[in-house]
Amino acid sequence: MCSRYLASLLLIGCSVLAGCEREQRAFHDQAPAIQSVSPTSFRAGGKSQPVAKDPEADKYERNAFHISEGKRYYEWYNCYSCHAAGGGDIGPPLMDDRWRYGGEIEQIYSSIVEGRPNGMPSFAGRIPDQQVWQIAAYVRAMAGNAAKTAVPARGDEMKNTKPLTQIPHTPVRTERPKTQR
Amino acid sequence: MNDPASACTRVARPISWMIALASCTVVGCHPSEPNGATQLNTVANPTRPAPGSAPPPGEGPANISVPDSASPPEDGQWTMPSRDYANTRFSGLDEINTANVGKLQLAFTFATGTLLGQESAVLAVGDTLYFVTPYPNILYAVDLNAPGGGLKWKFDPKADAASQGVACCQPVSRGPVYSNGRIFYNTTDAHTVAVDAATGQLQWKTRVGDFNYGETFTMAPLVVKDKVLVGNSGAEFGARGWLAALNASDGSIAWRAYSTGPDRDVLIDPSEFKPFYPQYRGTDLGVSQFPPDHWKIGGGTVWGWISYDPDLDLIYYGTSNPSPWNHEVRPGDNLWTNGMFARDPDDGHARWFYQISPHDLWDHSAVNENLILDMNWEGKPRKVVVRPDRNGYMYVIDRVNGELLAADPFTYITASKGVDLKTGRLIHNPDKIPSQGKVVREVCPNSPGAKDWTPSSFSKRTGLMYVPHNEMCMDWEIKPVSYIAGTGYLGVNARFYPGPGDHIGELMAWDPVARRKLWSVPERWPVWSGTAVTAGDVVFYGNLEGWFKAVHARTGEVLWQFKTASGIIGQPTTFRGPDGRQYVAILSGIGGWAGAIVSSELDERDPTAAKGFGNMVGELKKQSGIGGMLYVFALPR
């Protein structure tokens, strides 16, 4: 009798304790401060920190060899099949001044590596890092945003767009992404 | 407004009289001119019926008919995009006719909520309209009893957004199909869904293909008996083509017939497979007519129209271009791409095959509609299919045994020298064979061809076919290409430009008995919409500027037109509403291959944008807005 009473008491006690845990809440005084949110470094599906700045990145879009290599890889890796010679097809144009995911070389690099949600595949692990930078530099050149002294004056393929040396710079984003600089 | 003589004088203006002569031949001004292509056919068929064999108004045509089993009598509905198994797109309704169509007015509109190409047919079943948007492939049910056409329900298949990246020419849908209380349709991410037509509830959903390997869906299924027939898209990505039959009850896959590879995959059983021509007989030709293992990425997708003859119990459909476009990568005839199969719908086994474009050079995908017609052919009744092909020839093929009866040019052609009626083979023009390191110029027709997916119609009253088609040429350069799964597999630079005529597109009336063009309605831009024809002798179609037109089915006179907000690439349909009146429906909304420049906002400074259309359709941006809208028309009350 007594033991049964004790058992019930124990049971009730346990339930109360468990209930307390269930009802327990953690209150915060305020939302944590975030110092570096930037709408221009939007990344699809990836981690939220901005693209790591490659110390060499600037050199790619100022270097004729890298841009010309980028052009080759742009075809090799079938970038052409979706973006044509910059005018676009399945994917958006790359020669105009609209950049869904940012037009800085780091952002283009990041779009190639990570892919984007509406059909841009991720080439992570499929294209060596330096080649991605070279492709990104060539993409910059398509929109007139690489150094004019570095871009090729003519291509070998059938095409009647203006030579890349004559594509006007697209004055969209004169400021570099503020994060990580 | 476009009699052959004036078309001829207009065509005769170009600088080179030789081009003019060839063009005139093709438009039918001088059928006996010494053009290689025409001559070949004329020699094989010395006795051509007199032109204009279409009968006077009120009577059916004398030498051509549609088998009743493949085209049931009019019931005021439109339950499959092609209207019937024969693919006639002929409506028996005649309340709207040549006398009153000029008074046609807007009944109501309905926004699709999407911006890309609207290629879906608008089905009319009972008191409801059904259509599918491009990705995200929303299925709308519009209530005809609601004033101004209210929303009954909508169904979102939750298709994977990433699949848009492997839809070659925008993630379009050619529409749903209704059967036995359910709507079936295909999604961009290669699923087929069955939805309850009354409630919009999902019945089943089957993943039929894998978009990671470039497989998508653009085509409208066809339901034959208890099977839902669906075929993949993706030959621009090295997808291996197939037609699959899903059991309508639960969506399980009953059979799948590949377009490349070993016979067991192609469902070729030598005891049943009896092709007419010897080049299709042999073992595993779908392997040996490719380089080793290439058949696995060899294309031959099945994204066009399927026909069905219930009497013979055979389905007919075409297979697409082989992959990649660069032909040097894939020596051989590349069987069974770019041809047409006749199959048993129950088990999928092939009965015959005919290859329209062996060893394709130009992406002349052979997926166009096959109209099931019974014709008086050289004095004997024959069961045939008639198909306008991308390569510029109008084919007449015996649908019992696969024998080629005729292949007549209906446009300006330089890519080939005709079709040999003895061997059935297309004769490539040796001057135009592409090879790496050179640009081949003045290739006509270009890749979208003399006629792309845009479906023709056939009138049981006039005996004529109404064919939306185009006259375009191109420069073509092949280049190295490697296969990377899920990315394009082309190996070609192309730029398109108008052909030698004074207009690019036209709606053509073709007499399948006389085998010649009777008249056409010229269009400045490629015609990218389908057609429908009615017992009121009115043909409906739309153009890329957004004009929706009603044309006299006998004369070609444009009787009425209405400017919609965006270019039209849809399929007109007509039906009797619950109030007893006849309506005409069309989706407006530019896009697809020809209209991607506008609605995908491509940059026409690159002539190779949209695989070559960048070179010729940039001006369209000024003439067509962007956005999908359903337009429904009727006569005033």
Q: Strand B182-186: give its sheet, edge to edge.
A: B177-179, B182-186, B191-196, B202-207
| Among candidate residues B413, B617, B395, B612, the one with its CA nearest the CA of residue B501 | B413
User: What is the number of alpha carbons within 13 Å of residue B256 lying toward its C-beta?
Assistant: 14
Q: Would you call B559 helix, strand, or coil by DSSP? A: strand
- DSSP element (H, E) containing B230: strand B227-231
Contact B134, B566 (CB under 8 A): no
Rg (CA), chain B: 22
Tell me: cis bond preceding A121? Omega within 30 of 0 counts. Answer: no
A-B interface: how many C-beta pairs under 8 angstroms?
119
Longest dimension (CA), chain A: 100
Contacts of B374 (CB under 8 A, 6+ apart): B64, B65, B66, B67, B381, B382, B383, B384
Q: What is the dihedral of CA B434, B422, B391, B165, to 10 degrees?
A: -80
Q: B258 is written with which tokens? A: 């590949």
d(CA B256, CA B242): 7
Contact B469, B506 (CB under 8 A): yes
CATH number of A53-176: 1.10.760.10
Q: What is the dihedral of CA A18, A23, A29, A30, to 10 degrees?
A: 110
Q: Phi and psi for B542 in degrees, rounded to 5? A: -135, 165
Site of tokens 């017609």 = B373
Q: Compare CB distances from B606 to A85, A115, A117 and report the shortest one's residue.
A: A85
ipTM of the complex: 0.86
Contacts of B268 (CB under 8 A, 6+ apart): B286, B349, B350
Q: Would you call B599 helix, strand, or coil by DSSP? A: helix
Q: B404 is written with which tokens? A: 């080629």
How many residues would you count in chain A? 181
State the best of B216, B487, B606, B613 to mutate against chain A, taking most chain A CBs within 10 Å. Answer: B606
Pairing between β-strand B404-409 and β-strand B393-398 as defined by DSSP bridges: antiparallel
Q: Does A163 touch chain B (CB under 8 A)?
A: no
Q: Does A30 touch chain B (CB under 8 A)?
A: no
Kindly report the number of other CB atoms within 10 A of residue B48's CB atom: 16
Using CA atoms, how far residue B8 sits from B20, B444, B472, B499, B519, in Å, is 8, 19, 17, 14, 12
Q: What share of chain A is helix, strand, coil (3-state, %, to 5)?
A: 40, 0, 60
pLDDT (0 to 100) of residue B588: 98
Q: B394 is written with which tokens? A: 């109008």
Contact B410, B469 (CB under 8 A): yes
Contacts of B602 in chain A (CB under 8 A): 84, 87-89, 92-93
Using CA atoms, how far residue B552 sits from A130, B4, B468, B533, B558, in Å, is 63, 17, 15, 10, 6
Q: Would you call B465 helix, strand, or coil by DSSP? A: strand
Q: B269 is written with which tokens? A: 């059983």
pLDDT (0 to 100) of residue A37: 58
Kindly report the number of other CB atoms within 10 A of residue B348's CB atom: 21
The residue type of B475 is D
Contacts of B80 (CB under 8 A, 6+ apart): B123, B177, B178, B220, B222, B223
State the best of A77, A81, A116, A131 to mutate against chain B, taking most chain B CBs within 10 Å. Answer: A81
Pairing between β-strand B306-309 and β-strand B253-258 as defined by DSSP bridges: unpaired
| Among candidate residues B211, B202, B175, B193, the one with its CA nearest the CA of residue B251 | B193
Chain-wide mean pLDDT for chain B? Answer: 92
Q: Does A162 touch chain B (CB under 8 A)?
A: yes
Each residue of B134-172: pLDDT tens digit?
999 999 999 999 999 999 999 999 999 999 999 999 999
How many residues would you count in chain B? 637
| Among candidate residues B349, B364, B220, B389, the one with its CA nearest the CA of residue B299 | B364
Contacts of A22 (CB under 8 A, 6+ apart): none
**Residue spans per domain, chain A:** 53-176
Q: Where are the alpha helices (DSSP H) in B135-206?
A: none
| Among candidate residues B299, B290, B287, the one with its CA nearest the CA of residue B329 | B290
What are the residue ranges in chain B where pLDDT is below 70? 1-59
Nearest CA in chain B to A116: B162
Pairing between β-strand B123-125 and β-strand B573-576 as defined by DSSP bridges: unpaired
Q: Phi and psi for B211 in degrees, rounded to 5? A: -70, -15
User: What is the number of alpha carbons within 13 Å of residue B113 lying toward its C-beta?
Assistant: 11
Rg (CA), chain A: 27
Q: Compare CB distances from B484 to A78, A84, A162 and report the shortest one's residue.
A: A78
Q: Phi and psi for B317 in degrees, rounded to 5? A: -160, 160
| Among candidate residues B459, B522, B506, B534, the one with its CA nearest the CA of residue B54 | B459
| Among candidate residues B182, B204, B201, the one with its CA nearest the CA of residue B193 | B204
Site of tokens 């890298």 = A66
Of all residues in chain A, the percent with pLDDT exceeding 90 is: 37
d(CA B582, CA B598): 33
Contact B530, B371 (CB under 8 A): no
**Is A93 within 8 Å of B166 when comparing Cβ atoms?**
no
Contacts of A27 (CB under 8 A, 6+ apart): none
d(CA B33, CA A41): 65
- The pLDDT profile of chain A, 181 residues, written as one tens digit per residue, is 556 777 776 666 666 666 667 877 776 677 767 766 554 444 444 443 455 666 778 889 889 999 999 999 999 999 999 999 999 999 999 999 899 988 889 889 999 999 999 999 999 989 999 999 999 999 999 988 888 888 877 766 666 666 777 767 665 544 444 444 3
d(CA B488, CA B238): 7
- DSSP code per residue over A64-86: HHHHHHHHHHHHHTTHHHHHTTT
pLDDT (0 to 100) of residue A1: 52
| Among candidate residues B107, B106, B201, the one with its CA nearest the CA of residue B149 | B107
| Among candidate residues B402, B421, B417, B415, the one with its CA nearest the CA of residue B515 | B421
**Is A90 within 8 Å of B602 when comparing Cβ atoms?**
no
The residue type of B307 is S
d(CA B89, CA B594): 23
**Is B609 within 8 Å of A96 when comparing Cβ atoms?**
no
Each residue of B205-262: pLDDT tens digit?
999 999 999 999 999 999 999 999 999 999 999 999 999 999 999 999 999 999 999 9
**Shortest alpha-carbon distance between residue B161 and chain A (Å):** 5
Site of tokens 């400045």 = B524
**Residues B30, B33, B35, B37: is their CA dihedral positive or negative?**
positive
**Shortest alpha-carbon distance between residue A120 and chain B (Å):** 6
Pairing between β-strand B253-258 and β-strand B242-247 as defined by DSSP bridges: antiparallel
The residue type of B191 is H
**Is B606 within 8 Å of A90 when comparing Cβ atoms?**
no
Nearest CA in chain A to B474: A158
d(CA B552, CA B540): 9
Q: Does A128 touch chain B (CB under 8 A)?
A: no
d(CA B76, CA B95): 11
Each residue of B581-633: pLDDT tens digit?
999 999 999 999 999 999 999 999 999 999 999 999 999 999 999 999 999 99
pLDDT (0 to 100) of residue A44: 47
**Is A88 within 8 Å of B162 when comparing Cβ atoms?**
no
Tell me: cis bond preceding B336? Omega within 30 of 0 counts. Answer: yes
Q: B155 is written with which tokens? A: 């169904």
Kindly report the number of other CB atoms within 10 A of residue B236's CB atom: 28
Q: Does A156 touch chain B (CB under 8 A)?
A: no
Whole-model pTM above 0.80?
yes
